[in-house]
Structure 1
């Protein structure tokens, strides 16, 4: 697994920063797409307590118990295809997440699949603060959980 932190310079006013993981997963593209786009999949590696909108335009709500405090995150499904799933964050206690996108690009390979998993669109100013480091660490856990779930059927969701 490779972690890349990438600057996006498409918008000259506000530069953005992305968290990107490049993965080789020993699973079919369909297995990976289902893991990142369905109720069963999300509960297997990311959030045990969630309601997932599996079609474009539908909303999802994920809940996490963070040391006795329930944290909620809302997402809108922007796109679901065999090779890409995009969610946009609509609600989060951390305003830096609002409007960011979770993008999963999936490509079938001879042995398994290549996946580029990104959390894209963080404001560059926020990305230079400590909470961004915690976000990167959190994604490291969940990306490892995604790989485990896709390869073995067992992840480490919260």
Structure 2
């Protein structure tokens, strides 16, 4: 099995980071502009990509406010099924926090894994920028360009 691991230091409170990961407006600020999230364990989150051609559904398996978010993929591309997304948020010095992210339990380290690993690195930078500035700039935007 393969795991994707990333760490980022964010100049924001753990509550700000937790909300950016678990709330619709938070996800729309850094990851994808089309989503539905849940705020309770056992609930489902859905994220759309490629102008709604691709979607992922996650079950929130563990939510500890301002500390941890654990999701398991229950719908989407086959390679993602049963993988787990894990965010650990810890208070750093001053008004900073450390976010450790893992995308775990990939069945293989080829296929989608290398691309997803690289993308998660970029997404952690997007998360950092959103939490520090409050300016939304999702990595994935599903709004179709107007036809001229």
TM-score w.r.t. length of structure 2: 0.86
- Structure 1 residue ranges, 4+ long, deviating more than 3 angstroms after superposition: none
Gaps of 5+ in 1: 1-15
Aligned to 1:157: 139
Which gives a bigger RCO, structure 1 or 2 (Cα 8 Å, sep 6+)? 2
**Is 1:109–2:65 an aligned residue pair?**
no
Matched length: 137
Tell me the residue number matched to 1:3. none
For residues 99 and 118 of structure 2, the distance between their equivalents in structure 1, rounded to whole angstroms, comes to 19
Against the structure 1 CA distance between its residues 110 and 134, is the aligned structure 2 distance closer, same or farther, given a 3 Å change threshold?
same
8 Å Cα contact 2:33-2:138 kept in structure 1: no
Encode CA deviations 1:77-127: one digit per residue, 9 max, x unaligned.
11111211101111112x12111111000101123001101111111xx21
Query: Deviations for 1:23-48, whole angstroms, at most 9, x for unmatched residues?
Result: 11111000011111111111111110
Equivalent pair of 1:79/1:86 in contact (CA under 8 Å)? yes
Residue segments in structure 2 that go unaligned for 5+ positions in a row: 141-148
Q: Give how far 1:151 is off.
A: 0.8
Contact 1:83 1:107 in 2 (8 A): yes
Equivalence map 1:1-158=2 (5 Å): 16-65=1-50, 70-81=53-64, 82-93=66-77, 95-111=78-94, 112-123=96-107, 126-127=108-109, 129-154=110-135, 155-158=137-140
Higher strand share: 1
Partner of 1:55, secondary structure, is coil
SS in 2 for 1:57: coil
The CA deviation at 1:157 is 3.1
Q: Distance in 1 between matches of 2:22 and 2:43?
A: 11
